[in-house]
Amino acid sequence: MISQVFILSSQGDHLIYKDFRGEAGSDVVSVFYEKVTALTGDQPPVVMSHGDLHFVHVRQGGLYWVATTTSPGSSPFTIIEFLNRFSALVKDYCGSLSEKSVQMNFALIYELLDEVVDYGYIQTTSSDVLKNFIQTEAVSSKPFSLFDLSNVGFFGAETQQSKVAPSSAASRPIQSSREQGGRSEIFLDVIERMSVVIGSKGVVLKADVEGEVRVKCFMPSCSEMRIGLNEEFSIGKSQLRGYGAAVRVDECRFHQNVHLDEFHSNRVLRLCPSQGEQTVMQYQLSDDLPSAPPFRLFPTIERDSGGRLLMYLKLRCDLPSKSAAINVCATIPVPKGSVSLSQELSSPDQSAELKLQNRAIDWKIPRFIGGTQLSALFKLEVSGLSPSSLMEVGPVVLVFELPQLTVSGLQIRFLRLSPVQPAPSQRWIRYVTHSDSYILRL
Amino acid sequence: MPYLGSEDAVRELRRALSNPNVQSDQLRYRNTVLKAIRAMSQGVDVSDLFSEMVKACATVDIVQKKLVYVFLCSYATLNPELSLLVINTLRKDCQDPNPMVRSLALRNMTNLRLPSLVEYVEQPLAAGLRDRAACVRRVAVLGWAKLHNLQPDAEIDAAVVNELYGLLRDPDPVVMVNCLRALEEILKKEGGVAINKPITHHLLNRLKESDVWGQCEVLRILQRYHPQSEDELFDILSLLDASLVSPHPPVMAATLGLFLGLCSGLPAVSLAALERVRGPLLAACGSTSRETRFTALCHIQLLLRSLPGLMGAHYKRFFCGYAEPAYIKQRKMQVLVELVNDENVAMLLDELKGYCTDVNPETAQAAISAIGRIGRSYSDRCLEILTGLLGLKQEHITSAVVQTMCDLVWVCPQCSDTVCSALEGCEEMLQDSQGRQALLWLLAAYGERVSSAPYTLEGFIDRVRSEASLGVKMELLTTTMRLFLCRPSETQDMLGRLLHYCIEEEMDMCVRDQALLYYRLLHCGIEETHKVLHGQRSDPSLGVLIGRPAEPINQWAYSFNTLEPLRQAGVETEPASRGSPEHVTFDPKPNTDLSDTLNCSQIEKVNLAGSDGASGFTCSSAKVLAPLSLSLSPALSPEEFEHLWMQRHAEQGAEKLEEEEEDYVCLEERIQFPAIPPCSPQSLQAAMQLVNIQTLAFTPPHTLPWRVYLYTHTHHAHYGSTLVIGELLYIGEASRRVAAVKKGMEDGDVVEGEQEAGLSGRALVRKDGREEEVEVTLKQQPRDDNALKGFLSILTTVLHTLSSESS
């Protein structure tokens, strides 16, 4: 059971504090912040203790979401899952997750907490149940402006942490639809995360894909929804594969509300979506990708006579020519004594920068069209360059987004709502693949 | 954050709250209340507003009501009298036709936490249990638990308990689970809610109706149930099978916890359950939430303790992602170390090597020590990587590598040659105290093989005045002492300086005492000093040779799905593995000698030059030995071995006096090896194979005389390779005395060199003692004394470690 729940900003400001069982005072909030900021790098921060009290926390949206408990036998899976679910609820209700939105909607969050947890016991986290109880209207933290739109990436993915942030259209409070006459919309996102390791000789050592199908529903009443996947979708390694176009995943898990009666025959998922965001299906695929990994690197690294390090990097994008990767950033670790960098890049929109505190070069490519090849020549001044310094160069890490593309090949054939919705309902299907960790060894 | 004007702000708020104009305008009233709550959650003390807030409670606006309740529950304990005023409003709300209002009132009534109000609360709570709306019943059920905890000593109302048991059959699953929770708290003294067969089956049948949280709670409480028959047990298990592979990690973990509890007597079933959760656990390891990922990793480490092969095929799932935080990377490396096997070792080391140059020094150090751990089974590959890393000349990497090497030679003495040759030139790169301590330890243990050891030490001693770390000073003392024993001429002067400094100038008591101890020890003569300081060079437990045994599940099952696995710094952290030699002595005798020594009160400068005992002792070992490696190829068949052995044996018998031929030498030696009777052939063979010695034939254990035949090839950098064949012979207690005497007479003939004479002399002295020794007969072809000595020292180390392990 949970004794207290509190939310802190990254600077340690108290945003929300609720005590459920009266087992500890509110001073533990400061104790927690002192502890969490004093940790050294090799201490795992997730669970910390202060006397009889145990802090369990997650970080979401740059905030600390903390639960305390007095019983060391509490399940960490449950508490962490609860904190994640709670932050997802807050995100659904407030539209987005940030210090500002939590501050502005604190009354709403107290109300949520009151319904979600009673006496330290989790009661319900289903938004269908909660919508009957929550009365407070969300305050949108950002008034709509064109300036904000330009800041948000195509899928709003700016950082690793918030990589699945919905685009601005989807980041609005779920309940505002009622009175502000918000459109009744439904978003179906297929999001895949790749983690790939390519060896120095170009051999793919590891290629994993974790995928999710998410529904974000802004419809006040939606009784049933049918999602059709590729007909040649198969699960597990043993199943026979069709002729070429089959989509295969190793493991697949569905949300408990999904009805699978039509899945085995027609690959159709049926469910009654509740308001807000939910993950309908999760799947994973390891090692046996249907297509080649999207990027290859051909490096040449040598020392020149003047004690400089020359790196000639050719990066090839193996996507189909009609797709493109965006926001590509290659991080190339460099030897310790690196001082300065001179560069020759193959097109003007690229940029490269030596980040001394990360000991790495960041090579940024805003848009990389499939089937093309880019190159960069970096000349690096390194003080005290020795033959073994070359060991410090690499591995190269790529961060990118592939809009409108799934690596596994999963496609949504159709999305039908029944009963047929009264006129203005919009259905959006979006695909995106992110790099979770794309490593190219040198 | 309390700010300076907080008092003004409170005054302002009170004025606004009591302003009739504000009170009449619903929106303004609500906003004013909102401001008060905002101030409260920012840490401002707004308890003075209590009476105004009590008034604000009587409103039809539910949002405002909820806000006021948040305030009241926070400050009720400070104002018990004023809180009485709220009760009326609350009780009235409990009659409201709107179930939401009823549940709200009931919940906050019980949240006030005032024992004085209990009498007013009981009646609405009792009514709440029978309410039509499920949401009111949920609140009422938990309300009884809150009430009970307010007055823990009050008598338990049996009627209420009965009613709660009855509500386990409530159609609403949350009410059912809340009943369990409430009964668990109310009946805590009696051991919690009674879990009998009908209740268990009822709960299990309705498990699917609950959400994730309810299921976890039910599964946790069911852990107390003991099925009456095996059939029932298996019925329960098959019912729960679907939950075991649930996509929700909390349910999966709770189910596995229940499985492990129910099957504690059936290890095979438990192991099958562990196999079953592999998929969900791996999925949790790839979760988007890093905290879930971390939790899953910690629990995988638990599982691996009982089922080391569980994740072997999935080792790639534990490769570190680029953007993962350091604490996850470190856990993943700990798991990777466990998963290493012959097929994946190359891939794994390649991956780990990449982490060694990580920007984050902690990650880099964790990777280096992970490589060191793998080095216990695959030492050659790992040492190559480690020595390569030294070339980077980076402080934190060099320090981590030296520490890792130190740990590695402790368990794998056969690595010592490579380590010794890698040590040269490290000392300039070592800045932190742990790294320098490790270097000093290595110099102490293998000083005779590192040619630059005295110079390195000299540097340390010159800087000892500015040395801040206590540990380094202590280690420096020990190292200098031990190096003095094997290389006296080079170290004598610096030892004198160091002892002088430590005794006369050092401020720290520990260092001074240690220096005095050594100083007095030197008084007792070099033999005694050697006995005290001659420590072990390798791990006495030598667990890796046999491989870590799979632990029974019950060892960790109690901590599964609790916070404990997440709190430990790491399952793999070992106790400080390297004992300084002065803490571990081979022979118990010196301790008593030592106390005699300490009794002598007179302190005088020791005559360092007069240690003539040392010169004879060390002359042979002072020679720097070039690296020696053993290998098993070309293989020797038992027939060939027998042929060679018999041939040599015959020759030995015939030309005993002419033993030192060109290409052949025979050596007999005794090694203390008290563990012969319990030592199993398998462990001996495994231990020998690890250092590339092949055992060919054994007598069964517990038979006398006990013999082992073995062979190996030595490869020497300069002198080429030789074949060594040998016999270990143990003749048992009874016949030993005779044999020892006989041997003593032969010693002069067979053994050459002063060291051997000294050793067998000691063996003779101890022949009456409790020590048991094996006779080692070695034959080498072609002759190479250094290689043979090297081989003998490896063999001795293996036997020592084996014997101390089994004792």
Q: A42 is written with which tokens?
A: 């090799």
- B414-432 pLDDT, tens digit per residue, is 888 888 888 887 888 888 8
Q: Left, alpha or beta for B128 (phi > 0: left; psi -120 to 50: alpha)? A: alpha
Closest CA to B492 of B398, B622, B323, B350: B622
Are the Cβ atoms of B392 and A392 closer than 8 angstroms? yes
- Residue B617, pLDDT score: 36
CA distances from A442 to A395, B521, B605, B746 (A): 6, 56, 61, 63
Q: How far does the CA of residue A395 sit from the closest CA of chain B (Å)?
A: 7
Q: How far does the CA of residue B563 sit from the closest CA of chain A (Å)?
A: 6
Are the Cβ atoms of B292 and A56 closer than 8 angstroms? no
Helix (H) or strand (E) holding A332: strand A324-333
Query: How many angstroms separate the CA atoms of A323 and A193, rounded?
Result: 17
Are the Cβ atoms of A17 and B41 closer than 8 angstroms? yes
A270 close to A225: Cβ distance less than 8 angstroms? yes
B142 close to A119: Cβ distance less than 8 angstroms? yes
Q: What's the per-residue H, E or C state across B778-806? A: EEEECCCHHHHHHHHHHHHHHHHHHHHHH
Choosing among A1, A68, A81, which should be mutated to test the B contact, i.e. which has the most B CBs within 10 A?
A81
Q: How far does the CA of residue B369 sit from the closest CA of chain A (Å)?
A: 13
Closest CA to B387 of B374, B377, B397, B378: B397
Q: Which residue of chain B is at minimal alpha-carbon distance from A282?
A: B247
Is this structure's pTM higher than 0.80?
no
Task: List all residues 6 or more positions away from B364 whose beta carbon is below 8 Å from its beta carbon.
Answer: B355, B356, B357, B358, B396, B397, B400
Are the Cβ atoms of A80 and B295 closer than 8 angstroms? yes
Choosing among B213, B317, B387, which should be mutated to test the A contact, i.e. which has the most A CBs within 10 A?
B213
Output b/e per residue, A22-32; b: 16+ Cβ within 10 A: bbbeeebbebb
Q: Chain B contacts of A40, Cβ < 8 Å?
A: 362
Choosing among A3, A40, A118, which should be mutated to test the B contact, i.e. which has the most B CBs within 10 A?
A118
Output b/e per residue, B668-685; b: 16+ Cβ within 10 A: bbbbbbbbbeebeeebbb
Q: Chain B contacts of A17, Cβ < 8 Å?
A: 41
Helix, strand, or coil (residue B493)? helix
Are the Cβ atoms of A114 and B292 closer than 8 angstroms? no
Q: How far does the CA of residue B304 sit from the closest CA of chain A (Å)?
A: 18
Are the Cβ atoms of A46 and B566 closer than 8 angstroms? yes
Are the Cβ atoms of A77 and B295 closer than 8 angstroms? yes
Helix (H) or strand (E) holding B531: helix B526-533
Q: How far does the CA of residue B239 sit from the closest CA of chain A (Å)?
A: 17
**Cross-chain CB nearest to A74 (options B38, B317, B563):** B563
Report the range out of A161-175, B65-79, B706-720, B753-767 with the highest average pLDDT.
B65-79
B128 close to B94: Cβ distance less than 8 angstroms? yes
Q: Of how many residues is chain B composed? A: 807
Rg for chain A, CA atoms, rounded: 25
Are the Cβ atoms of B289 and A114 closer than 8 angstroms? no
- Residue A129, pLDDT score: 83
**Cross-chain CB nearest to B362 (options A41, A59, A77):** A41
Task: List all residues 6 or more positions away from B136 whose beta carbon is below 8 Å from its beta carbon.
Answer: B99, B102, B103, B106, B128
The residues with which A219 forms a beta bridge, in sequence order, are: none
Q: Which amino acid is at A427?
A: R
B555 close to B571: Cβ distance less than 8 angstroms? no
Helix (H) or strand (E) holding A217: strand A204-217
- B786-804 pLDDT, tens digit per residue, is 777 777 877 777 777 776 6
Q: In degrees, to the nearest 5, what angle opens at C-alpha A183 toward C-alphas A181 and A186?
A: 145
**Cross-chain CB nearest to A41 (options B66, B284, B360):** B360
- B728-747 pLDDT, tens digit per residue, is 777 665 444 444 444 444 44
* Peptide bond between residue B705 and the one before it cis (omega within 30 degrees of 0): yes
Task: List all residues 6 or more positions away from A333 whose beta carbon is below 8 Å from its beta carbon.
Answer: A359, A360, A392, A393, A394, A395, A396, B357, B359
Query: How many angstroms separate the CA atoms of B66 and B63, rounded?
Result: 5
Are the Cβ atoms of B294 and A44 closer than 8 angstroms? yes
Q: How far does the CA of residue A404 sit from the closest CA of chain B (Å)?
A: 21
Mean pLDDT along residues B84-108 = 89
A6 close to A58: Cβ distance less than 8 angstroms? no
Q: How far does the CA of residue A422 sit from the closest CA of chain B (Å)?
A: 31
CA distances from B711 to B638, B645, B708 (A): 10, 11, 10
- Residue B747, pLDDT score: 41
Task: List all residues 6 or more positions away from B340 whose beta carbon is below 8 Å from its beta carbon.
Answer: B315, B348, B374, B377, B378
Query: How many angstroms separate the CA atoms of A104 and A423, rounded?
Result: 34
Query: How many angstroms separate the CA atoms of B609 and B95, rounded?
Result: 101
- A35-70 pLDDT, tens digit per residue, is 999 887 667 788 998 888 999 999 999 999 999 999
Q: How far does the CA of residue A423 sit from the closest CA of chain B (Å)?
A: 33
CA distances from B658 to B31, B338, B340, B555, B664 (A): 110, 54, 51, 61, 11
Q: How far does the CA of residue A16 sit from the closest CA of chain B (Å)?
A: 6
B502 close to B618: Cβ distance less than 8 angstroms? no
Are the Cβ atoms of A133 and B135 closer than 8 angstroms? yes
Q: Which amino acid is at B735?
A: S
Q: Which residue of chain B is at minimal alpha-carbon distance from A72?
A: B563
* B182 pLDDT higher than 90: yes
Helix, strand, or coil (residue A209)? strand
Q: Edge-to-edge, what's the strand order for the sheet holding A338-345?
A: A295-303, A308-317, A373-382, A338-345
Chain centre distance of CA B330: 13
Residue B674: HSE in the Cβ half-sphere, 13 Å Cα cutoff: 10
A224 close to A270: Cβ distance less than 8 angstroms? yes
- Residue B601, pLDDT score: 35
Q: Chain B contacts of A75, Cβ < 8 Å?
A: 216, 220, 250, 253-254, 257, 561-562
**Cross-chain CB nearest to A75 (options B41, B354, B561):** B561
- Residue B541, pLDDT score: 56
B277 close to B256: Cβ distance less than 8 angstroms? yes
Closest CA to B411 of B790, B791, B801: B801
Candidate from A151-160, A395-404, B179-188, B399-408 with smallest mean pLDDT: A151-160
Helix, strand, or coil (residue A383)? coil
- Residue A178, pLDDT score: 47
Closest CA to B290 of A205, A120, A92, A83: A83
Sequential DSSP letters for B684-747: HHHHHHHTT-EEEEEPPTT-SSEEEEEEEEEEETTTEEEEEEEEEEE-HHHHHHHHHHHHHHHH
The residues with which A377 forms a beta bridge, in sequence order, are: A312, A344
- B709-723 pLDDT, tens digit per residue, is 788 877 766 667 778
Can you tell me the ipTM of this complex?
0.87
Sign of CA dihedral B496, B497, B500, B502: negative
Q: Left, alpha or beta for A132 (phi > 0: left; psi -120 to 50: alpha)? A: alpha
Query: How many angstroms separate the CA atoms of B112 and B50, rounded?
Result: 13
Q: Chain A contacts of B142, Cβ < 8 Å?
A: 118-119, 121
DSSP H stretches of helix in B245-289: 249-262, 267-276, 278-285
Chain centre distance of CA B275: 24
Q: Which amino acid is at B771?
A: E
B249 close to A74: Cβ distance less than 8 angstroms? no
Query: How many angstroms separate the CA atoms of B235 and B229, rounded?
Result: 10
Choosing among B563, B568, B571, which should be mutated to test the A contact, i.e. which has the most A CBs within 10 A?
B563
Sequential DSSP letters for B271-282: HHHHHHTHHHHH
Chain centre distance of CA B321: 24
pLDDT band at B535 (very low <50, low <70, confident <90, very high): low
Q: Which amino acid is at A321?
A: S
pLDDT < 50 regions, chain A = 143-166, 177-181
Give B609 or A288, the one with higher predicted confidence. A288
A415 close to A225: Cβ distance less than 8 angstroms? yes
Q: Chain A contacts of B45, Cβ < 8 Å?
A: none
Query: How many angstroms separate the CA atoms of B47 and B699, rounded?
Result: 86
Q: Chain B contacts of A46, Cβ < 8 Å?
A: 291, 294-295, 327, 566
Sign of CA dihedral B1, B2, B3, B9: positive
Helix (H) or strand (E) holding B768: none
- A82-119 pLDDT, tens digit per residue, is 999 999 999 888 888 899 899 888 889 999 999 999 99
- B660-691 pLDDT, tens digit per residue, is 445 566 777 666 665 555 566 677 777 777 77
Query: How many angstroms separate the CA atoms of B355 and A22, rounded?
Result: 46
